[in-house]
A = this chain, B = another copy of it.
Amino acid sequence: MIQELKDNYGHLFENNLLNEINQVGTFKEVPEGAVMINIGEYVKSMPLLISGAIKILREDNDGDELLLYFLEKGDTCAMTLTCCLGQKKSEIKAVAETDAKLMMIPIQKMEEWSGKYKSWRNFVFESYHNRLNEMLETIDSIAFLKMDERLLKYLIEKARVSEDGTIRNTHQEIAYDLHTSRVVISRLLKKLENLGKIELHRNYVTLLKI
């Protein structure tokens, strides 16, 4: 049994299911920055995230991007779930935000386990629920917040999922995630620095404790 599987999913799944996952799943490591799936691609297996963080993005026809949310350990991709079941194309893009470890589950098992294990069903439902709530959070941000508030919220999220609490990105990269321009981000970051909320450096930003 892979120890990290037990550590992260032991409280969720009964032993029989854990053993099955351990048997049929494939352990996988992905390096930071790796594109794990693109819009329009078919999904072949379902990931259970063991460590690290995955960035989920939406893209429009012009290739403009928007960050939707991050997945962390114990999470799975809700999109993948029905993509697998219905053989549908992915509607989102997934990129490793940090180095990450995953357990990949073959799609045939999902349907089988849904009938067999109550804990699996609950996990799947819970995942959907979490993802829907994260989408609502995203909608709240873009619909109700101004760009400076969105930026601060983004920096806090980014710092949370990063290893050391710093945001190791250029202004341009931040601008892509928030679907705005580099100049706007530079302007607002400077404003946040003047307010004493952050510290700016070349290639990274640090959040200051309040």
Contact = CB atoms under 8 A, between A and B. Distances in A.
Nearest to A137: B91
Interface in A62-96: 64, 66, 68, 78-79, 81-82, 85-86, 88, 91-92
Contacts of A179: 143-144
Interface string A101-141: 00000000001001100100110111011011101101110
Nearest to A114: B121
A82 B123 CA distance: 11
Contacts of A140: 58, 60
A144 B82 CA distance: 25
Contact of A142 (B64, B78, B132, B139): B139
Contact of A66 (B114, B115, B139): B139
Nearest to A136: B91
Contacts of A81: 125, 128-129
A115 B125 contact: no
A114 B139 CA distance: 30
A136 B92 CA distance: 9
19 contacts: A58-B139, A79-B132, A82-B129, A85-B122, A86-B129, A91-B136, A92-B136, A111-B118, A114-B114, A114-B121, A115-B118, A121-B121, A128-B132, A131-B132, A135-B136, A139-B142, A142-B142, A142-B143, A144-B179
Interface of A: 58, 60, 64, 66, 68, 78-79, 81-82, 85-86, 88, 91-92, 111, 114-115, 118, 121-122, 124-126, 128-129, 131-133, 135-136, 138-140, 142-144, 179
